[in-house]
A = this chain, B = another copy of it.
Amino acid sequence: MILSLDLGSEIPIYQQIRDQVVVAVATGELAEGSALPSTRQLAGDLGINFHTVNKAYDLLRREGLLLLTRKSGAVVRRDPHSGPPEGGFAEEWAGRLRTLLAEAAAQGLDGPTVLAACTTTVNGFRAGQTATDDEGGVR
């Protein structure tokens, strides 16, 4: 997968990394078991400090998406078929969804437009993973 950073953004670098890994897992681009570059290597490729990459990986580990070991490096732990998320996630996530959708509504986007954007985005994820959906083989 290819990571692109915007160093001039107000979004912290470690969060840009985290967000792009999350999207890659959602689309199926990163399946369960996929290996990510090491912290030092990715930092070198991106031209940033390895502590910053370490922070992003550590955040992904705490979210349950990455498994970090000394022998295998960084490996994707979950994918969209791994079953329900950990306790409390759905409620916290629904709260953030409410804020984000409220922002669009307050700015004048009407309901159908907002829901169409949601549907298109979610279907875009599934298109990326249903290619090998019949296999279902969890490695």
Encoded as 1 (CB less than 8 Å from any B CB) or 0, chain A from 15 to 31 comes to: 00001001101110000
Partner of A98, one of B23, B63, B89, B109: B23
Partner of A107, one of B78, B101, B104, B125: B78
C-alpha spacing A110/B26, complex, angstroms? 10
* A108 adjacent to B23 (CB under 8 Å): no
C-alpha spacing A119/B101, complex, angstroms? 10
A65 within 8 A of B: yes
* A65 adjacent to B106 (CB under 8 Å): yes
Q: Give the total of A residues in contact with B, Cβ under 8 Å.
A: 49
Chain A, range 82-98, C-beta contacts under 8 Å to B: 82-86, 89-90, 93-94, 96-98
Residues on A facing B (Cβ under 8 Å): 19, 22-23, 25-27, 63-65, 78-86, 89-90, 93-94, 96-111, 114-115, 117-119, 121-123, 125-126, 138
* Subset of 16 A-B contacts with CB under 8 Å: A19-B102, A22-B102, A23-B99, A78-B107, A82-B108, A84-B108, A85-B109, A86-B107, A89-B107, A90-B109, A93-B100, A94-B138, A97-B104, A97-B118, A98-B121, A115-B118
